Each structure stands twice: as C-alpha cells, then as structure tokens.
Amino acid sequence: MKQATETQPTMTCPACQGICKRFAVNRNGSLRFRCVDCKRTFTEEQSKPFGKMTTPVDKALAALGMLLEGASVRSTERLTSLHRDTILRLLVAAGEKCENLMGRLIVNVPVKDVQCDEIWGYVQKKEAHKNPWEEDDNSIGDAYCFVAIERNSKLVLNFAMGPRSQATTDIFIEGLRQATAPQRFQITTDGFAPYVSAITTTLSDRCDFAQLIKVYASPREGEQRYSPADVVEALPKPIMGDPDRAKICTSHVERQNLTIRMQMRRLTRLTNAFSKKWENLWAAYCLWFAYYNFCRIHQTIRVTPAMEAGIADRVWNLADLLA
C-alpha cells in the first residue's frame, strides 16, 4: 500500500531562476527557501496589510478584536504574546485605515434626525494636573470627542477630537456637513454654546436646529467626586428653523457614548488604562467608530448601521474593515 506524500512548497530563485526548496521557518512563521543551484536563501512573500509590520494577520486581528471588546493593551499582550509596542503600532495603523475608510464612504448620506454630543477623555493627565509649562500643549490633558449619530439608522456620521472649544466645534460641524446629503434634517445638541454659531453658520441651509438644555441639582454630600448630579429638568430650546419638539432629544447619542465607555478600555472611568499619546487615542476612536458602523450588529435595528443607512449590503468583519 503506497503512502501519500505531501507536496513540498517551492519557489523560483530571483537570482538564477533555479528551483528553491524549503529550508527553514522564521520566527514569525514565514517560510524560508534555499536555491538548489546558487545556495542563496529567500523568504516567501508575505501579505502586509499593516504597512511594514510583519505580524501575522490572524494574530493582529485577534489583538485588535480584544481591544474592541474592552481588553487593555497589557491584557492583550498576555493573551496574544505580542509585545505591547507592537499592539499599539497595530492600533495606529488600523486607525489610519479606518479613518480613510470613513472619510471615503460616509459622504452625502441622507439623514432625517441627527444628535450630537461630546464624550470626555484625557491624554497623559487631566487638564487640572498639567504643569505651568504644559498649559499651551493641547496634546496633553482633556480630550473631548464630538460625535454625531443619525437617530434612525444609528450611523455615526462624524467625529472630531480636541479641547471643548469653539475651534473643535467648528471643525466637527464642517465635517458633519460633508457627511450629510443636501436635504432638510433636524439636529439636536446639548446646551454647549459654541454649537449655536457653528451650526447656524455651516448648516443653515439644510437643518432645523434645537438644543436640549439640562438643569442639574446640587450634588449630594459625599458624591461630588464620582457621581454626576441628578438631572432635574430637560428644557427643549429651538434655535433655528422649525424643529419638531417631539424629536428634540439626545438620548440615542448619549447611549452610544455609554457603549464606547464600556467597550474602549482607555475610556473606562476610574481606570489606569488612559491614553499616553494623542495619536493612540485618536486611532482607538477611528477603529471603534468604523467597527461600530460596519461590523457590529445593533440590537435595535438587527443589522449594522451602515446596512441600515444603505452604505453596505452585508455585515463586515474586521478583516474586511482593514483590507
């Protein structure tokens, strides 16, 4: 009885066009070959979706998936055996791909009801803890992420990160204009004052604008540090156009912000897993929002937000997102 033999992988020598046979395996799992004639050795060509990084794709996807499910960088390091610096480089590379993807696909999207809010985070240290010589360094301290979500499709239309200022608000609203189609829609924000000038200047031709101003009670004794004050009243305030008072609401975007805090370890409250670099936090946001839009099935609509908005026709996986 003849025993089946496995076919050995071969390649052609780039130097002398001779036959190369399998010679060894590199530490990263890629095969090495040696030419039978000239004795030169070569490594098989590898797919490098993350630029010059040679991390195996399956390990890279596993690491990024853990970060998206709320694992810290060091937990991911222990589970995947990848060095933490490698994981952070993967995060930055994936964030760049996701940023380009969002900018390319989320353009001129028809919307009906948009809600905006800000989520607080910080880089290296909180704003109050900055040294005098760091006061003008905006890459350290508080970092607010402005988020715009479509109420019906749950699609994140645009986001921007920076200090909670007029300049960041203007950039955020300008990006929202690029993301939305030139048709009438309603937009609701919280009572943050810079929204008024940004929206009335940039979106006056296409939206009805209102703010939901929340009135807070005085914090109870002993809870000033960790618990927010109770909301006593939420006052709808029309600002521009003719907004529907029944739709003046920010609950959906605030619920989405809760999802971010639960799934992104560097934003979990009372944690030591905060971002040490501005670009790492920005990359984490880009990866999360792209994953949320294209890969994560929303329980309410039972499809991904991108499918509900007509941008995608199927549920993407993480490999599709980073291809």
pLDDT at 251: 92
When divided into structural domains, the chain yields a total of 2
Residue 31 and residue 89 in one domain: no
Report the Cα 257 to chain-centroid distance in Å: 12
In a domain, 2, yes or no: no
Residue 86 and residue 19 in one domain: no
Residue 34 and residue 150 in one domain: no
What DSSP letter does each residue of 249-310 carry, written as one string? --HHHHHHHHHHHHH-GGGSTT-S--BSSHHHHHHHHHHHHHHHHHTPPPTTTSS-HHHHTT
Cα separation of the two ends of the chain: 46
pLDDT at 16: 81
Residue 84 and residue 209 in one domain: yes
Residue 199 and residue 100 in one domain: yes
Per this entry, what is the length of the chain? 323
φ and ψ of 287, to 5 deg: -65, -45
Residue 114: closest CA among 176, 172, 161, 165: 176
Residue 39 and residue 147 in one domain: no
In a domain, 53, yes or no: no
DSSP 28: T
Q: How many angstroms separate the CA atoms of 269 and 90, rounded?
A: 24
Residue 62 and residue 122 in one domain: yes
CA angle 188-191-195, nearest 5°? Answer: 65
Q: Residue 42 belongs to what H/E stretch? A: strand 41-43
Burial of 173 (0-12, 13-18, 19+ CB in 10 A): buried
Residue 39 and residue 65 in one domain: no
pLDDT at 146: 97
- Dig out the tokens for 159 from the structure: 């986001």
Give the range of the structural domain holding residue 35, as residue numbers without chain letter.
10-43
pLDDT at 1: 41
Which residue ranges of the chain lie beneath pLDDT 70?
1-10, 26-30, 44-49, 51, 219-228
pLDDT at 5: 46
